[in-house]
Chain A
Amino acid sequence: MAYGGLTVPIIVMSVFWGLVGGVLPWLVPKGPNRGVINTMLVTCAVCCYLFWLIAILAQLNPLFGPQLSNETIWYLKYDWP
């Protein structure tokens, strides 16, 4: 998979959690639980999106690289692309 940096993942995740938090609440059928379900959807979308965002931004510009043992390097040299 070609690494596009930040753009592809952020678009995908933003759209997904945007759907969950912004569109699904309108589709919830009317009933006594509608308010609770909408609150749950929005809170869930915000929390999960924020958590993912922190994880990806922390790795965007690493200040140092991983330190690997020589066995690992020897193996990964040939196994990982």
Chain B
Amino acid sequence: MSYRGMAWPWGSWESCGRRLGDGPWSNKVAMGQESWVRLGGGPWGSGVAMGHRCGRRSGEEPWGRGLAMGQGQEWNRARPHSFVAGVIHPWRVSAFERLLWRACRGYLVASFVEMPEPMEDPATGETITWVIFLISYWGEQIGQKIRKISDCFHCQVYPYPESEASREETMNGLHSQIQDLSLVLEETEQYLAQVLDKVAVALPTWRVQVQKMKAIYLVLNQCSFDVTQKCLIAEVWCPVRDLTQVQDALRQGSYKSGSSVECFVQRIPTSESPPTLIRTNKFTAGFQSIVDAYGVASYQEVNPAPYAIITFPFIFAIMFGDVGHGLLMFLFALWMVVYENSPSLRQASNEIWQTFFEGRYLILLMGAFSIYTGFIYNECFSKATVIFPSAWSVATMANHSSWSSAYLATHPTLTLDPNVTGVFRGPYPFGIDPIWSLATNHLNFLNSFKMKMSVVLGIVHMGFGVLLGVFNHVHFQQRHRLVLEFLPEMVFLLALFGYLVFLIFYKWITFSAADSLVAPSILIHFIDMFLFTSNAGNLPLYRGQVAVQTVLVVLALASVPVLLLGTPLYLCCRRRATKTGHHGQVATEEQEPLLEGQEAGNSVNTTKEDVESGGHSPDAEHLDFAEIFMHQAIHTIEYCLGCVSNTASYLRLWALSLAHAQLSEVLWTMVMRNGFVGLSYVGGVVLVPVFAAFAVLTVAILLVMEGLSAFLHALRLHWVEFQNKFYVGAGYKLCPFAFAVDTGE
């Protein structure tokens, strides 16, 4: 009786797994085990029972021990025996056997056989090759012992009927049950797959719906119940321009939801400071975000972002100026802009990529301006381009000074003298002359040029910042500040630093190589101007310079007390006038914007409580004057000292552009030029990895590192040096409820 030929549906049992529930499955396992027990136990058991009859015991029976069979013959003649059948974990077999033997002293016959195929343990889920055991014993007590022991060893015990026929019956019953159950499991699995497929299609919609509902409920939670407990009331900020839209929307909403009571909106007066809403489109959003990163504009103050759209990339480009690098940056940003609607670009999970993508228009403009400044600096991957012929004629100089080949051989470097006619023929029309990139003293010239350029651009930028403050003064109806703050600030800036700009331009225009030996130093003149001294070796730039400078310094110094005391005294006088006139509420109202506006002196972002300073009681006047005076004093000191330090701070434009130029030159001479050394075909092959190295280093060092560095410094210049002059930035943003998915989530 061979059982090995039987095929069981093992495969489907494994795949059904636990998710179909332990019920039918573990039943199946149990039945499987039982059926194995039955099947295996069959021949042996019947053999024992009939052992005394059949003389033949074949050796091919995998079961049975010789001892058992031998004993069987004796037993059946004498006593009735019982069976215990079950399944045990294979690791416990030897211990079980030993214990049985010791406990029952050989009054039993135990046989163990492994299942041909492993089955899954319903408790732990591992596939184990169980061992089936059949114990034949006689005597009640032994039987009880055996059962207790098998209990201890956590064996699954199955009932084992005596007769062959009942065993066959049970087997058939088990088979049919197993088949039924496997059918049920199959059907369930198919059904489950169908349901999951349907859900997978609908799941994204459900998820979005759930998120929307959650968002709505979050907002509704912020509303409060009215007296009747039937409606929700919410206090909202709404732009005046959109008020009709809001009313329309509420009306539509009430109509669509079919409610009997209509929703309505009503304007209420408040003394709170409103939030700031600046409408942006996809282009301006990037620039507005870099301004907002420093501080959201106070309610209705002038917004520096529209100017920053151009000045920020421009200042970046001054520090980054290189045609080649600018072109690479521009193309990268162009690719991002052209494919900005592609979902793979938009929904990338990488945060760094998202940052670059959000600023794609910023990078586009930065690249474009870098190309322009690169042409002006005449640098394309650190090489100069000769668009127009150079203004310096080497041939003329060589002819004039008889630079023969022999002469050249003995002198490693020679300088062109602009005093010689024909050597210098005029300024290069667009940018820096290409001869300077070949000169060994090019840094002498470039440093002077770039330092002066940084100072000039810085002073212009700062003057522009002060000018923007005028918009604030006019808008907030504080015309006294035009005379008492804007005017002294402008006078101070222009008298000292505007004069410096004038000196720079004047020296450029009037002093040439003819008087190069006696050319005055602007820096020393500037220092002397403040100290009211004079240096004998430093010739004046123009006649009457000392007198002019004295006047300017006196003017600047005179503007300081006006700035310091003007506004406080004016306000004091005005309040006294109104108090004697009518015990005014007017004064307190006007205090609000005044105190808000005076935060212009602080460069650190003020907190909300400073803004909501409205509602001072009219009796704390003395204290108010002290506070106003203090604010104005801080503002004055910060402005005057700031003028000097911020002008110097703009020298970073020079520093970074020098660093960029030097880095790219190093990369060229040390990396790329070595690829051109070999002039053979081998050299051509060598050029490929050399170029690869050059390209990688260019992108990593010059584009990414220098780009980020220039970006950071341009940002600092905007946030501190420029916005110091007019920006308060103490507002908070309007955060309207919107279903648009935030890219951050």
Indicate the member of A6, A59, A76 with the most B CB atoms within 10 Å. A59
A68 at the interface (CB under 8 A from B): yes
B508 touches A4 (CB 8 A): no
A62 touches B457 (CB 8 A): no
Residue of B nearest to A45 (CB): B310
Q: How far is the CA of A62 from the CA of B314 in the complex (A)?
A: 27
Contact of B426 among A5, A44, A64 (CB under 8 A): A5
Residues of chain B lying within 8 A (CB to CB) of residue A57: 427, 505, 508-509
Q: How far is the CA of A67 from the CA of B355 in the complex (A)?
A: 46
Known contacts A65-B415, A66-B438; A58 and B449 CB within 8 A of each other: yes
B436 touches A55 (CB 8 A): no
Indicate the member of A35, A61, A69 with the most B CB atoms within 10 Å. A61
A47 at the interface (CB under 8 A from B): yes
Stretch from B106-114, B137-145, B195-203, B417-425 contacting the other chain? B417-425
B167 at the interface (CB under 8 A from A): no
A51 touches B432 (CB 8 A): no
Residues of chain B lying within 8 A (CB to CB) of residue A6: 426-427
Residues of chain A lying within 8 A (CB to CB) of residue B306: 35-36, 39-40
Known contacts A47-B310, A52-B376; A65 and B408 CB within 8 A of each other: no
Q: How far is the CA of A36 from the CA of B306 in the complex (A)?
A: 6
Q: Number of A residues contacting the other chain (C-beta, 8 Å)?
A: 44
A74 touches B408 (CB 8 A): yes
Known contacts A40-B306, A73-B403; A51 and B418 CB within 8 A of each other: no
Residues of chain A lying within 8 A (CB to CB) of residue B510: 61
B440 touches A69 (CB 8 A): yes
Indicate the member of A6, A39, A60, A62 with the most B CB atoms within 10 Å. A62
Residues of chain B lying within 8 A (CB to CB) of residue A76: 394-395, 438
Residues of chain B lying within 8 A (CB to CB) of residue A3: 391, 425-426
Interface on A for B, CB 8 Å cutoff? Answer: 1, 3-6, 8-9, 33, 35-36, 39-40, 43-44, 47-48, 50-52, 54-70, 72-74, 76-78, 80-81
CB contact list, B363-404 vs A, under 8 A: 372-373, 376, 388-395, 397-398, 403
9 additional A-B pairs beyond A66-B415, A67-B416, A73-B394, beta carbons within 8 Å, are A8-B429, A58-B449, A58-B452, A59-B432, A59-B433, A64-B415, A65-B424, A65-B513, A77-B403
Q: Number of B residues contacting the other chain (C-beta, 8 Å)?
A: 70
Q: Helix, strand, loop or mixed for chain A's interface?
A: helix
B435 at the interface (CB under 8 A from A): yes
Contact pattern, B 437-464, Cβ under 8 Å of A = 1, otherwise 0:
0111110110011001100110010000
B532 at the interface (CB under 8 A from A): no
A62 touches B445 (CB 8 A): yes
A54 touches B456 (CB 8 A): yes
The distance from the CB of B726 to the nearest CB of chain A, in whole angstroms, is 16
Residues of chain B lying within 8 A (CB to CB) of residue A40: 306, 309-310
